[in-house]
Amino acid sequence: MAASAVSPASSPKKMRFASLNDENINKLMTEKDSINTRRATDSAVKMFKEYLKEKNVAEDVETLDSTELDKLLGKFYLEARNKNGELYKKASLTAFRHGLNRHFKDHDIVNGQDFKSSREAFIAMSSELKRQGLGGVDHHPPIEKADLQKLYASFDITDAASLQQKVFVDILLYFGRRGRENARQLKVSDFSCSTDSEGHVYIYHEKDEQTKNHRHDTNTADGRMYVVPDADERCPVKTFVRYKRMLPVGYDCLFPKVRKTPNKDGCYFDLVPMGHNKLGGMMAYLSEKADFYNFLHLNQPTPNPAYTSTSPHLNQHTPQPAHTSTSPHLNQPTPKPTHT
């Protein structure tokens, strides 16, 4: 009699959709805002609770109904002062208001009908602050062409650390980055080389990323860094390729930590990203090194300098024509870096 076939145990059915617990959901909802936004929210809540404590009001504001919260917010807008007892600027008061609005998820304290009284108080205080000269925003002065020239002249592209600093500045200028924002997460593979319809070679940032001002749209991977014809070895594309060749083989971090001496393979970079604070202080260090102090506003978005009069290469607006479909300097040998 033939043995009956034994059917194998059926494997568990693979589920198509994920199953998230409350902790996972709360984590995703919290991280939709940038770290700076979350800090601003925490700061606003802390300020409001300190105000309530000084006024001998219960700090458990989450349990207040909209009528009582509206009343307290109106007084807070009118009476808020810094630690020196001075009025805040309008921008600071506005930041507190929006921070509190993010905190009170069950209320809309900015536009809600239940918060008409506090809204009028905020408008009144805003007018008073403007009357006292506290309504404006302090903008950094524009970068002077001579300062940019001085900065770029300070770079030594034969030195690993200095070459890295030049690439850092180039990326800030050409791609409008906000200083340290996401810099530690940038990868070499995030950037690619291409040729436009007129045969001009450029580098572009192909990876869409989340930034402070672009957390939910898809327009952040923008800008082009063209070959600059009269910049010689200081051309931003050439120095980017030169820098790329100096990086550890197979290591994708764009800004790794710099070594004072080369390792056994002759490489001047470690397999560790540069520190967040080191990247954040890069522009302050470079501006002091170049002997000028008017450069720190590169932490703000900057237009592509290839189309402005403040180009770091001083009015070299015309991209260098490419004679092949790839960058013409990709096969140029790179001298061994020296550290000074």
Collect all residues with Cβ–Cβ distance below 8 Å to 28 and sequence separation of at least 6: 20
The residue among 88 and 323 whose pLDDT is bigger is 88
- Do 109 and 170 belong together in one domain? no
Residues 82 and 190 in one domain: no
In this structure, are 158 and 56 located in the same domain?
Answer: no
* In a shared domain, residues 85 and 156: no
Given a contact cutoff of 8 angstroms between Cβ atoms, the answer to whether 171 and 300 are in contact is no
Tell which wins on pLDDT, 231 or 122.
122
Q: Are residue 172 and residue 202 in the same domain, yes or no?
A: yes
Looking at residue 327, its pLDDT comes to: 40
Whether the model pTM is above 0.75: no
In a domain, 321, yes or no: no
177 and 264 share one domain:
yes
Of residues 39 and 297, the one with the higher pLDDT is 39
Residues 168 and 291 in one domain: yes
The closest alpha carbon to 232, from 291, 290, 286, 155, belongs to 155
Give a yes or no: residue 328 inside a domain: no
| Mean per-residue pLDDT, 181-189 | 85
In this prediction, residue 187 carries a pLDDT of 94
pLDDT of residue 26: 73
Is residue 335 predicted with pLDDT exceeding 50?
no
Of 72, 76, 49, the residue nearest 60 (C-alpha): 49
Last residue of one domain, picked from the residues 131, 161, 178: 131
Q: Is the pLDDT of residue 331 over 90?
A: no
pLDDT band at residue 148 under the 50/70/90 scheme: confident
Boundary-marking domain end, from 131, 153, 180: 131
Number of independent structural domains in the chain: 2
Cβ contact 280:180 at 8 Å: yes
Q: pLDDT value at position 34? A: 66
- Give the pLDDT of residue 338: 42
Mean pLDDT of 78-82: 95
74 found inside a domain:
yes
Q: How are beta strands 201-205 and 191-195 bridged, if at all?
A: antiparallel
Q: What is the pLDDT of residue 140?
A: 63
Domain boundary among 75, 108, 131: 131
* pLDDT on residue 305: 39
Q: Is the pLDDT of residue 119 over 90?
A: yes
230-272, pLDDT tens digit by residue? 878 889 999 999 999 999 999 999 999 999 999 999 999 999 9
**pLDDT at position 281 over 90:** no
Higher pLDDT, 290 or 201: 201
* Alpha-carbon span 340 to 317, nearest angstrom: 32
Residue 254's pLDDT is what?
95
Q: Above 80 in pLDDT, residue 168? A: yes
219 three-class SS? coil
Task: Provide the pLDDT confidence category of residue 309 given band limits of 50, 70 and 90.
Answer: very low
CATH number at residue 169: 1.10.443
Q: For the chain, where are the E strands, in sequence order?
A: 191-195, 201-205, 224-226, 256-258, 269-273
**Judgement on whether residues 103 and 252 belong to the same structural domain of the protein:** no
pLDDT, residue 312, reads 41
| 5 within domain boundaries | no
Closest by Cα among 153, 152, 340, 158 to 246 = 158
For residue 167, pLDDT over 60 is answered with: yes
Do 81 and 201 have their domain in common?
A: no
Is there a domain that residue 22 lies in?
A: no
- The two counts, helices (H) then strands (E), for the chain are 10, 5
Do 68 and 167 lie in one domain? The reply is no
116 lies in some domain: yes
- Statement to judge: residues 149 and 225 lie in one domain: yes
Q: CB–CB of 236/244 below 8 Å?
A: no
Give the model's pLDDT for residue 188.
94
Distance CA 268, CA 247 (A): 8
Whether residue 338 lies inside any domain: the answer is: no
Least confident of 92-101, 106-115, 285-294, 320-329: 320-329
* Over residues 18-47, mean pLDDT: 80
Whether 315 is in a domain gets the answer: no
Q: What is the torsion angle, in degrees rounded to the nearest 10, for the CA atoms of residue 209, residue 211, residue 216 and residue 217?
A: -70
**Domain range spanning residue 164?**
145-211+218-307
- Output the average pLDDT for the chain: 79
155 and 61 in a single domain? The answer is no
